[in-house]
């Protein structure tokens, strides 16, 4: 997790805690307080789900980039190895 993500998670947790405490100490009826708290928690849940989906997309893109890079390097190394093998076999084949 990078620093921006940590800050965002801490901010969201603080907002949720503040909203929950504010709702709990508000002079509303119990049912209204529970409804408001439930709505606030649903909003927080949705925000967390959205952020998690974004991070999953970022990780998937990063994984794809790494896999492509590894495949490219492997193909290059394999081709270079094949070329060197051919270069070393050519003089031996001429001697035969």
Report the first-to-last Cα separation within the chain, whole angstroms.
Answer: 62
Look up tokens 């952020």; give the residue: 51
Give pLDDT tens digits for 41-80. 898 889 889 988 988 999 999 999 999 999 998 888 888 8
CA 3 centroid distance within chain = 13
Q: Contact 41/16 with Cβ under 8 angstroms?
A: yes
Number of domains the chain contains = 1
pLDDT of the residue at 1: 62
Range of the domain at 82: 3-95
State the pTM of this model.
0.51
Structure tokens at 31: 């049912």
């Amino acid at each position: 997790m990078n620093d921006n993500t940590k800050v965002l998670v801490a901010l969201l947790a603080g907002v949720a805690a503040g909203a929950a405490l504010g709702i709990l100490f508000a002079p509303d009826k119990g049912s209204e307080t529970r409804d408001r708290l439930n709505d606030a928690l649903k909003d927080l849940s949705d925000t967390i789900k959205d952020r998690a989906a974004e991070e999953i997309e970022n990780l998937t893109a990063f994984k794809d980039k790494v896999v492509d890079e590894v495949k490219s390097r492997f193909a290059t190394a394999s081709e270079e190895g094949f070329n060197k093998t051919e270069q070393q076999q050519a003089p031996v084949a001429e001697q035969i």
